[in-house]
Structure 1
């Protein structure tokens, strides 16, 4: 398989390792990036990156690619995806696929002109063994109709500090904190509910990474924590007093078209991080945590525990609960054999649209209705807008 990369950052440098370990004939023949932060890790692992191209157009016109991988900053994805679609190449884009509502509608209009499966999106948690088991049990009827969900993604201070120091600190580049970090989670819960979100409210702000919380005497531990994760393009060494405009904590309340509800909480300065959920249905409930690695399900009428399983937080290849290598294998098989994937570009766009409306609710301090936005989205998919 001949692969090209546009935006060779840390994530795609890591995924290059995963893909080549899972499928040895995965060959990167070229890349486009003026400052490829992911290249050193590939060189350390003796993974070839192929030829450096100055523009994506040059690479697409020179190389006959089987797959284009898009790992550029989020706000660049739309243009890079457009070029790949127009050159007839299969595309794997890192999440989030786009950064605002107008880009969402524009990409929806683009997708209406091309095969539905030409664009894949790296919502890697759809491939996690824990999620696969949860969905299997749900399909067997253990939960019944979903009534409500309580969920959270809480990340450690070293990861929150990275957001304050990287290009992701600007909403205009990343799409915001929930878009950059939690689009996985909201996509998962959309899929579990099985209906579109129709009404949202949200609250949040900067409460941890602020000047008054800066250590007065920086020690070795502070340096190790707040600079553990390297920043890339537009990086800064300012953690607590950077020019970031993203929030570091946020809550969202979501009501779905079928009456189910979701309460979601995210925080980027949590000492003992977790990524957990409690899903309550008419017939049973499911509790789990991707980081702490468990899934328990109980029958509502008998209180009997019907599933009690543990899952790995990481594996030899995966930092995402065993999901990265499964995603690599499935994407490869999709490109080479046409096998279906558990998540689509439309799923990714729908999760993104939800997050845009959550951000609107936070900024305006109002309850936001999504009906008009869905109508515009559907019209764009049908090329009617």
Structure 2
């Protein structure tokens, strides 16, 4: 399988290594990136990168890949996905797909024009064993109708410091923090509920990574903490006094179209980090933690523990899901096997996150009805004639 890459950061390098495991014959036949931070890491893994190009159109027309892989900063995804589609190749794009509501509508129009099956998305947590077991518990009737969810994504200070140093600190490149980092989670729980968000509200701000909390002199342990995760393009060494415009804590409330609700909490400065959920249904409850690798289900009628499981996996490979995603996408491309998540799911999760942050900024409840009406209309764009 031949792939061409636009945006070879550390994340895309990891994704490509997983794709190489799934398909040892993988060949990178072209690269667009003026400063590919992940190149050395990829070369150490024995994966050579083909010719370098100045733009995506030229690369795709010359290299003729089976798949264009988009790992550029989020703000450029729309442009790069469009280039791939108009040149007749399938596209894999990292999450989040786009950074704001206008780009979401433009991407939806592209999908209407070219077909949603032409774009694959890296919402990797849908491939995790924990998520699969949660969905199995639902299918087995152990949870019943979902009533409410409590969920969180809390990252450790080393990871929060990375966000304050990386290009992701700017919303103009990454979008709001809850979109950039938590779109996985918002997607997962929407799929569990089985409905779109009908209304959202949110509060949050920045209180941890601020100048008043900066150590007077960094100890060795603090230096290791705040600088252990490398950053590539547009990086800074500043942590507590960076020019970031993202926030570092946020809570959100979501009401879904079927009446279920979710309370979601994100924080960038949690020493004993966790990424957990409690899904409460009419017949039982399911609890899990992606970081601590556990899952359980209890029956409401008896209190009996119906399921208890533990998993292997670490944060750096999304708890084992990176390899599973690459294997499943490879089978999809070669054999047509269905995937657990699609580009429309990703855009819906993204729009929900975008409106959550709008609700935070404007301190109001936002009804999602008009947003979904615009989105559905954009998806109805007339298909392109082949």
Q: Under TM normalisation by the shorter chain, which class is it? A: over 0.9
Give the Cα–Cα distance (whole angstroms) in 1 for the partners of residues 16 and 60 of structure 2: 19
Distance between the aligned counterparts of 2:4 and 2:264, measured in 1?
37
1:207: which partner in 2? Answer: 207
State how far apart, in whole Å, the 2-side matches of 1:27 and 1:178 are: 34
Superposition deviation, residue 350 in structure 1: 0.1
Residue of structure 1 in register with 2:3 after alignment: 3
Q: What's the TM-score, normalizing by structure 2?
A: 0.98
Give secondary structure in 2 for the equivalent of 1:52: coil
**Once structures 1 and 2 are overlaid, which stretch shifts more, 32-41 or 330-339?**
330-339
User: How much has 1:231 moved relative to structure 2?
Assistant: 1.3
Q: Offset at 1:312?
A: 1.5
Q: Quote the residue 1:369 is aligned against.
A: 367
Aligned to 1:342: 340
**Does the CA contact (< 8 Å) of 2:201 and 2:254 recur in 1?**
yes
CA displacement 1:44-94 (0-9 Å, x = unmatched): 122101111111111111011101100000000000000111111111100
- Look up the match of 1:179: 179
Partner in structure 2 of residue 44 of structure 1: 44
Q: Any idea what the Cα deviations from partners look like across 1:146-199, whole Å, max 9, x if unmatched?
A: 000000000000110010011110111101111111000000000000011011
Single out whichever of 132-141 and 32-41 deviates more from structure 2. 132-141
Alignment partners' CA distance in 2, 1:87 and 1:139: 40
Q: Identify unmatched segments of 5+ residues in structure 2.
A: none
Answer whether contact 1:124 1:327 (CA < 8 A) is retained.
yes
**Equivalent residues of 1:254, 1:261 under 8 A apart:** yes
Paired with 2:204 and 2:339, the residues of 1 have a C-alpha distance of 34
Instruction: State the partner residue of 2:289.
Output: 289
Aligned to 2:189: 189
Task: Give, in angstroms, the shift of residue 261 of structure 1.
Answer: 0.2
CA distance in 2, matches of 1:63, 1:300: 57
Give the whole-Å Cα distance in 1 for the aligned partners of 2:102 and 2:135: 32
Assess if the C-alpha contact under 8 Å between 2:91 and 2:118 holds in 1: yes
Partner Cα separation in structure 1 for residue 288 and residue 40 of structure 2: 36
Cross-structure match for 2:126: 126
1:320 corresponding residue in structure 2: 318
Match of 1:70 in 2: 70
In 1: Cα distance, 2:370 partner to 2:243 partner? 34
Are the equivalent residues in 1 in contact too, given 2:143–2:282 (CA < 8 A)?
A: yes
How far, CA to CA, are the matches of 1:360 and 1:163 in structure 2?
Answer: 20
- Do the aligned residues in 1 keep the contact of 2:200 with 2:255 (CA within 8 Å)? yes
Deviates more, 1:11-20 or 1:274-283: 11-20
1:262 lines up with 2:266 in the alignment = no
Residue number in structure 2 paired with 1:245? 245
Secondary structure of 2:237's counterpart equals coil
Contact 2:167 2:174 in 1 (8 A): yes
The answer to whether the 8 A contact 2:198-2:255 is kept is yes
Partner residue, 2:87:
87
Q: Point out where structure 1 has 5 or more consecutive residues left out of the alignment.
A: none
The residue number in structure 1 matching 2:152 is: 152
TM-score, normalisation: structure 1: 0.98
| Comparing 181-190 and 112-121, the one that deviates more | 112-121
Alignment match, 1:25: 25
Does the 8 A contact of 1:93 with 1:120 survive in 2?
yes
Q: Deviation of residue 16 (structure 1)?
A: 1.5
> Do the aligned residues in 2 keep the contact of 1:274 with 1:290 (CA within 8 Å)?
yes
Shift of 1:22: 2.2
- Give the aligned length: 382
Aligned equivalents of 2:150, 2:375: Cα separation in 1: 27
Q: Which residues of 2 match residues 293-304 of structure 1 at below 5 A?
A: 293-304=293-304
Task: Report SS of the residue matched to 1:31.
Answer: strand
Of 71-80 and 81-90, the range deviating more from structure 2: 81-90
1:135 aligns to what?
A: 135
Q: Give the match's secondary structure for 1:88.
A: coil
- Following TM superposition, by how much is the alpha carbon of 1:116 offset from its aligned partner in structure 2, in angstroms? 2.1
SS of residue in 2 equivalent to 1:113: helix
Structure 2: how far apart are the matches of 1:26 and 1:193?
37
Partner of 1:358: 356
Distance 1:166 1:187 in 2: 24
